Amino acid sequence: MSEEIRIIVDHEHAGERLDVFLSHFLDGFSRSFLQKKITEGCVLYNEKGVKSKQPVKAGDEILLAIPDPEPVTAVPENIPLEILYEDEDLLFVNKPKGLVVHPAPGHETGTLVNALVYYLGDDLSSIGGVLRPGIVHRIDMDTSGVLVIAKNDIAHRKVAEQLAVHSIRRRYRAIVHGRIEEESGTISKPIGRSQTNRLKMAVRPDGKRAVTHFKVLQRFDAYTYIECSLETGRTHQIRVHMTSVGHPLLGDTVYGNIPNKFRLQGQTLHALSLGLVHPRTGEWIEVTSDIPDYMKHLLEIL
């Protein structure tokens, strides 16, 4: 058995390679997976076989047959968790830098989800599926800090609703290149998928609304320590916004890629706190985590 997906190419994506277009349109399918399906003849373009590099045209029809996936579940692994708060509905953890949130190609094991399945077993919401149980939102692998986990479907839906209307309060700490002279500011620039590199996000006039507020905590000769609060929650939002105003995050090789002497692994970004309305009690709950030791040490050096 297989699922058939019919897509009509829109004007916005006309001219893209077929595999690139499909990877943009079908969230959850990797480009390599789609290339494999195209090669196997599972994709028809205007009712004909086609190659991955075929440019798409507005109005053309694509028919994609996706075979039913093999049953896969996240394997329980005894990975230590730093628990910040827990009750019958929610679990707040402090995710360390370098830990991937959920299994994905190249990271099938050793993720936060593997640790959660070991710790909680079936006591996780099922909405995210077998590879993302309990996961309502994510932070990047090299970003540390507070992450909330839903332990049942009702809690998952109510937290997701708050994320959708941007009512969850999220504060981050970051070290950026350059001295920011103003005490605080707001960056309001729409963000969308980069047209030149699908692994990156970019400021684009046709992107989704994105607003980041920041304030300066400490200035150094060539760097600034800041706190950011998110009004919206776009992918890589702080990294993209700070780069757009000339202050990329220290250690960010994707958006800044400025050589530094500290031999950092990824961006210096920490999710300091997360506040939301509790799905059962209706009361406001806010959980905070201390900045990681590597960032404390870095601030001492600066």
Measured distance CA(13)–CA(213) in Å, rounded: 31
Annotated catalytic residue, options 89, 122, 123, 140: 140
- Three-class DSSP category at 231: coil
Res 46: pLDDT: 87
Instruction: Express each pLDDT in 34-48 by its tens digit.
Output: 788 888 888 888 888
Q: What pLDDT, on the 0 to 100 scale, is given for residue 1?
A: 45
Q: In b/e form, how buried is each residue of 285-296, taking b as 16+ CB within 10 angstroms? A: bebbbebbebbe
pLDDT at 26: 61
Q: Following DSSP, what letter does each residue of 142-179 receive, concatenated?
A: T-EEEEEEESSHHHHHHHHHHHHTT-SEEEEEEEEES-
Domains of the chain (ranges, CATH numbers): 2-67 (3.10.290.10), 71-165 (3.30.2350.10), 171-270+297-301 (3.30.2350.10)
**pLDDT at residue number 196:** 73
Count CB atoms within 10 A of the CB of residue 56: 23
Indicate the DSSP class of residue 254. Answer: T
pLDDT, tens digit (0-9, with 9 covering 90-100), for 46-83: 888 888 888 888 888 888 776 654 445 788 999 999 99
Place of tokens 């990329």: 248
* 120-164 pLDDT per residue, tens: 988 898 877 767 888 999 899 999 999 999 999 999 999 999 988
In the residue annotation, 140 being an active-site residue is answered as: yes
Is the separation of the CB atoms in 100 and 112 below 8 Å? yes
* Whole-Å CA distances, 114 to 71, 86, 94, 98, 118: 16, 18, 15, 15, 6
* 157-172 mean pLDDT: 92
Identify the three-state secondary structure at position 273: strand
What gap in Å lies between CA 15 and CA 21, rounded to an integer?
9
| pTM, to two decimals | 0.76
In this prediction, residue 19 has a pLDDT band, given cuts at 50, 70 and 90, of confident
More confident residue, 122 or 218: 218
pLDDT for the residue 71:
47
Determine contact, residues 47/63, Cβ cutoff 8 Å.
yes
pLDDT value for 48: 81
At 72 the pLDDT is 53
Angle at 200 between CA 28 and CA 15, to 5 degrees: 75
pLDDT of residue 95: 97
